[in-house]
Amino acid sequence: MLQTLTKEAQLTEEAHRLYGLLKSVSKEDGSRWTYEDCLAAAPYTLSINQFKKEKNAVILAHSYTTPDLVYGVADYRGDSYELALKARDSSADMIVFAGVWFMAETAKILNPHKKVLIPAGHAGCSLADAITGAEMQQLRAQYPGVPALCYINSVAEVKAHCDACVTSGNVFDIAQKLPGKELIFVPDLLMAKNLEAELVRRGTPKKIIAAGGSCCVHDKYQPHDVEKLRAQYPGIKVVAHPECPIEVCRLCDYVGSTKGMTAYVAGSDAETFGMLTEFGLVNRLEAEFPQKKFVWPFGVCRSMKRNTLQNTLEALIDPRPEQVVEVAPAVAAEAKKAIDKMFELAQ
Ligand code: 13P
Ligand code: SF4
């Protein structure tokens, strides 16, 4: 009886902790996280945090995953660059990466001897799926001597054929540092346009040879989405991810990575922000800046949302084969060179 009461008290305390963090966070249907939602999450967050200690695991969560993961169990939350750094520098025995496959794969490449798990299993990304290693190899053969950058949203086989990889937070700076007037950039055709324009703006133009596809979340935004936000909310600041079309980015007040957008909001006096990015970042900003208003027209990455408290717990206890990240050692060794080059050039 005493034990039951203690367990109940623990759950109540955990639900209050979660509710304190999530009460200003919205759900896709427009409602907010409730105390009852937090009470339902509490058994999972308590168990996950317990297993995490027992297994000396670290949980890394991308900002686009759900807020119960981001605030309930993650040791680190952030953009793809920050999380790659955390993975590289982690002293944990096990890395649990709540994100999409290419992110967990990057963590494995940086930690070939550690167990790296992804709760969602093979959660894809329309960008990473847009070009194969063989196609990248062909592109390099077609343009000999031209430096090649790949966005981190690419598979290990593509990274293995590139000089360096980049993230949305450092793509402009790294591209500017590379020699020559031409540059291969994969696999985001829309970011390639933004990159080309930014290099012109900086006075260091380059011809970008692009291949690949687009992000199925960010490529949906249109100039009229920005115009509508401005008409509806006078004084609004509109921010976008560089995976959005250039016609949209040109109309925005700020364009940058998920970390960059967060820093922009933190440093702005505006009260209302239009968010042309994935819903999870909106949730993070709602949690961290409850006094500000965030208007989100649409945009959900279903792959990111495949990570749940339940499959995180299952992965920690007894991972299913699809939750265990493996990369062929020869590919990993080559891909690591491109990732390490990014760390070097991002300094
Ligand atoms: P960030 O590096 O800005 O977190 O972007 C990752 C991503 O997948 C955006 O869609
Ligand atoms: Fe890939 Fe787009 Fe999802 Fe980011 S939001 S992981 S780019 S599909």
Q: Is the CB of 239 under 6 A from ligand 2?
A: no
Report the nearest-CA residue for atom 4 of ligand 1: 79
Centroid of ligand 2 to alpha carbon of 125 (angstroms): 5
Mean pLDDT, range 305-322, rounded to an integer: 98
Q: Where are the beta strands (DSSP E) in the chain?
A: 57-62, 76-78, 94-98, 115-117, 148-151, 164-166, 182-186, 207-210, 237-240, 254-255, 272-276, 293-295
Please report, rounded to a whole number, the percentage of residues in the chain having pLDDT higher than 90: 98
Alpha carbon distance 271, 284 (integer Å) = 16
pLDDT confidence tier of residue 3, bands split at 50, 70 and 90: low
Q: Is the CB of 300 under 6 A from ligand 2?
A: no
Ligand 1 atom closest to the CA of 301, numbered from 1: 10
Q: Is the CB of 170 under 6 A from ligand 2?
A: no
| Predicted local distance difference test score (pLDDT) of residue 132 | 98
Q: Is the CB of 125 under 6 A from ligand 2?
A: yes
Mean pLDDT, range 330-342, rounded to an integer: 98
pLDDT, tens only, 90-140: 999 999 999 999 999 999 999 999 999 999 999 999 999 999 999 999 999
pLDDT, tens only, 207-227: 999 999 999 999 999 999 999
Handedness of CA 15, 83, 332, 126 (dihedral sign): positive
Q: Is the CB of 70 under 6 A from ligand 2?
A: no
| Predicted local distance difference test score (pLDDT) of residue 5 | 66
Q: What is the mean pLDDT of the chain?
A: 97
| Predicted local distance difference test score (pLDDT) of residue 317 | 97
Inform me whether the pLDDT recorded for 298 exceeds 70: yes
Ligand 2 atom closest to the CA of 103, numbered from 1: 6
Report the nearest-CA residue for atom 6 of ligand 2: 125
Q: Is the CB of 103 under 6 A from ligand 2?
A: no
Indicate the pTM of the whole model: 0.96
Residue count of the chain:
347
pLDDT, tens only, 267-282: 999 999 999 999 999 9
pLDDT confidence tier of residue 4, bands split at 50, 70 and 90: low
Q: Are 229 and 238 in contact (CB under 8 A)?
A: yes
Contact partners, residue 295, CB within 8 Å, separation at least 6: 229, 232, 233, 236, 272, 273, 274, 275
pLDDT confidence tier of residue 200, bands split at 50, 70 and 90: very high
Centroid of ligand 1 to alpha carbon of 269 (angstroms): 25
| Predicted local distance difference test score (pLDDT) of residue 2 | 52
Centroid of ligand 2 to alpha carbon of 223 (angstroms): 20
